[in-house]
Amino acid sequence: MFGESRTYRYEAGQPPNGIVRTHEVNIPDATGELWAYASFGGVASNPGSYEKNEPRGQQVLTIGYRKGDRFSPAVQFGIANNKDFLQAAEGVAGQTFLTPWLSQGGLEYYGDYLRQGTQCDFKLKISLKDSRVAIWYSSRGDHQWHLLGENLPLISRMDAINYVRVEQSPAASGVADVVIQSEPWPDGEKVKPHPLAKKAGIVGPDNGFHFQSMRSTWRVPGRHVQIVRQPLRWFGFPM
């Protein structure tokens, strides 16, 4: 894991908690400043449905430190059900709405709508010395990294990371290219195109356009201040 890429698929996981399958991996102690990457496979449908109270297609990756039977999480992220959105939108009972997601333990952060059949890449910069993390995501075809959280405290303070847990609900499409290392991973830093994107000739470098309803600085590191974050209300303004 440390400096090497791994892939996790639902059918290969262990089912200790009902239908959710789990992969648990020990890695050599990693300290200082770390970079983590993961690519989550696309969901079959969104909005989706539940299977035995579990959101179909949900996948969560937790990084932390384990000693004996005690596991302390540092950061938890992945593709998860945005219950706040469904409540605000008065969604249909039994529906799920999957988005990129980050948990700080007490607070949860959700990204944009996750397009069906579209992989979603994550990258994290973790400082164990400062106990802080920054996290970005980019769905294939987005053409940019989206800042999901900046300078956020880790769930638990720790001097090293040595453990990874992946939890997958039914219909999870797999987590690939899971990498944790002490320097940026060149391939993980790339913003990747959608596999069905049209080839050059329709649009190309410096030729064409992207739909963008409003230019904003809120996703730029150091340019966003959060005012309120509570269920159904999230107020933030660029600095």
Q: What is the pLDDT of residues 183-204, one digit of tens each?
A: 999 999 999 887 776 665 555 5
Domains of the chain: 6-189 (2.60.120.200)
* pLDDT surpasses 90 at 156: yes
CB 138 within 8 A of CB 192: yes
The more confident residue out of 86 and 237 is 86
Residue 239: per-residue pLDDT: 41
Q: What is the pLDDT of residues 64-85, one digit of tens each?
A: 999 999 999 999 999 999 877 6
- Which DSSP letter does residue 233 get? E
Residue 193: per-residue pLDDT: 85
Q: What is the pLDDT of residues 122-144, one digit of tens each?
A: 999 999 999 999 999 999 988 88
Separation CA 217–CA 90 (nearest Å): 30
Residue 188: per-residue pLDDT: 94
Residue 17: per-residue pLDDT: 72
Element (H, E) at 85: helix 83-88
CB 191 within 8 A of CB 142: yes
